[in-house]
Amino acid sequence: MASTSGASSSSVAASEAVAVVCVGMAGSGKTTFMQRINAHLHGQKEPPYVINLDPAVLNVPFESNIDIRDSVNYKEVMKQYNLGPNGGILTSLNLFATKVDQILNLLEKRTIPDPENPSKKVIKNILVDTPGQIEVFVWSASGQILLESLASSFPTVIAYIIDTPRTASTSTFMSNMLYACSILYKTKLPMILVFNKTDVKDASFAKEWMTDYDAFQEALASDEAGNAFGGVEGEGGGGGSGYMGSLLNSMSLMLEEFYSHLSVVGVSSMTGQGVDEFFAAVRDKAEEFKRDYRPELERRRQERDDQKRRTREKELEKMMQGMSMATGSSAGAKVKPPADDGDDDMVPSDDQDDDDYADVDDELDREGLQARYEAAMEANKDSTMEEASFAKFLHTQRR
């Protein structure tokens, strides 16, 4: 029975569109890479849905279905808020993030079959281009909102674009790896390392450094001997800095576990070499997302929902306690035992006293009142003033 349901869920999951979010440092060839994979998918008769999130770019060599520049004027934002370039990009993203629900509605309409138009082609790939200032997108609140919103609806993969020729030295390679590591653990999404510009320099050296510790040590020793770290002659046994060599050596050991969670692909955005391998890695990471990342995202979402529910219940409890105290004091003023005039029949017994006050307690019973309130509010779930309408509800009940 379990296997049948599992097969059904996997067949449904297989039809999901995959969102590929391209991030990379300025000059890494990210926009050219976006152009290449977009053209590749069009060549495969599988046109993607393209989103441009860079408000400062003047021209892009591909057509975007959703473009932040259509909604936010970057230069006007800088002028109105008296901001610099990075502040303008960040504020533009913050403004655009307010439209995330509309974006998701558009994506969902294009990625699910249309019953009224069965011949309409369903989108299978969503490509997202981001600003070259990585920190503005990855570490901002708006970037987190956009990524989490995408991941809540589609399998989402981060493609980290690396400039291969600039990564030939051990120090710049390690800097890129640390940057990628921080992005991976900040976004908590599966990642593919894309070594771009392989037509200029092959990426085999980087793959070897990530899988063979001894190979990286040899390259590190070579850089030290060639004074690549700018040290004083004679330090560290060679021409380089002994401290830098020791630091890079320690970090390479630390990142071995990190490397095991990555897919590495060499791509040339100019020639198209390696694009097929990239999309094969995307499919693998999409399956990994469904298997490992989505349960964690759902668990975190459930925790947030539970926390909100507990907060609402706590606020309601405080309100009920306050109403109980107020109604209790007013009841004491209204229900008053008769004065003793010597007539035994008029002297209330203990049982009579309890019964009279029991009626009042039943009428003002907090749990019963809360149950009636919640039942009344169930019919109007969409109201955003549930707590505010409680006093009015209580007033009508007493009538």
Domain boundaries, the chain: 18-200+262-301
Q: Is-contact 67 52, C-beta < 8 A?
A: yes
What pLDDT is stored for residue 316 in this prediction? 85
Full-model pTM: 0.70
User: 172 exposed, middle or buried (CB, 10 Å; 0-12, 13-18, 19+)?
Assistant: middle
- Name 188's Cβ contacts closer than 8 Å, sequence gap at least 6: 293, 296, 297
pLDDT digits (tens, 9 = 90+) for 183-192: 988 998 999 9
- Whether the pLDDT of residue 383 is over 80: the answer is no
- Whether the pLDDT of residue 338 is over 90: the answer is no
Cα distances (Å, whole numbers) of residue 17 to 13, 139, 156, 187, 300: 9, 25, 9, 19, 22
What pLDDT is stored for residue 241 in this prediction? 53
pLDDT digits (tens, 9 = 90+) for 342-370: 555 444 444 444 444 444 444 445 556 56
Q: Is-contact 353 336, C-beta < 8 A?
A: no
Where is 127: in which H helix or E strand? strand 125-129
Q: Is-contact 355 361, C-beta < 8 A?
A: no
pLDDT digits (tens, 9 = 90+) for 258-272: 888 789 999 999 999
pLDDT digits (tens, 9 = 90+) for 197-221: 999 999 999 999 988 888 888 888 8
How far apart (Å, rounded) are the C-alpha atoms in residues 295 and 292? 6
How far apart (Å, rounded) are the C-alpha atoms in residues 285 and 1? 28
Task: Output 119 or 101, whichever has higher pLDDT.
Answer: 101
How far apart (Å, rounded) are the C-alpha atoms in residues 369 and 321? 11
- Whether the pLDDT of residue 337 is over 70: the answer is no
Can you name the CATH fold of 18-200+262-301? Answer: Rossmann fold (3.40.50)
Place of tokens 């297989």: 14
What pLDDT is stored for residue 250 in this prediction? 80
What pLDDT is stored for residue 100 in this prediction? 92
Cα distances (Å, whole numbers) of residue 4 to 8, 9, 48, 121, 174: 6, 9, 32, 29, 46
Cα distances (Å, whole numbers) of residue 161 to 138, 235, 255, 257: 14, 35, 18, 20
How far apart (Å, rounded) are the C-alpha atoms in residues 331 and 366? 14
Place of tokens 């281009």: 129
- Whether the pLDDT of residue 231 is over 50: the answer is yes
Which value, in Å, is the radius of gyration of the alpha carbons in the chain? 32
pLDDT digits (tens, 9 = 90+) for 53-85: 999 998 889 999 999 999 999 999 999 999 999
What pLDDT is stored for residue 13 in this prediction? 41
Q: What is the rounded average pLDDT of the residues 7-24? A: 66
Confidence at 17, pLDDT banded by 50, 70, 90:
very high
- Whether the pLDDT of residue 225 is over 90: the answer is no
Task: Look at residue 271 and give its three-state secondary structure.
Answer: coil
Where is 315: in which H helix or E strand? helix 294-334
What pLDDT is stored for residue 360 in this prediction? 46
Phi first, then psi: what are they for 48, rounded to 5°? -85, 170
Among 222, 167, 215, smallest CA distance to 194 is for: 167
Where is 108: in which H helix or E strand? helix 100-111
Confidence at 15, pLDDT banded by 50, 70, 90:
low
DSSP state of 70: G
What mean pLDDT value characterizes the chain?
A: 79
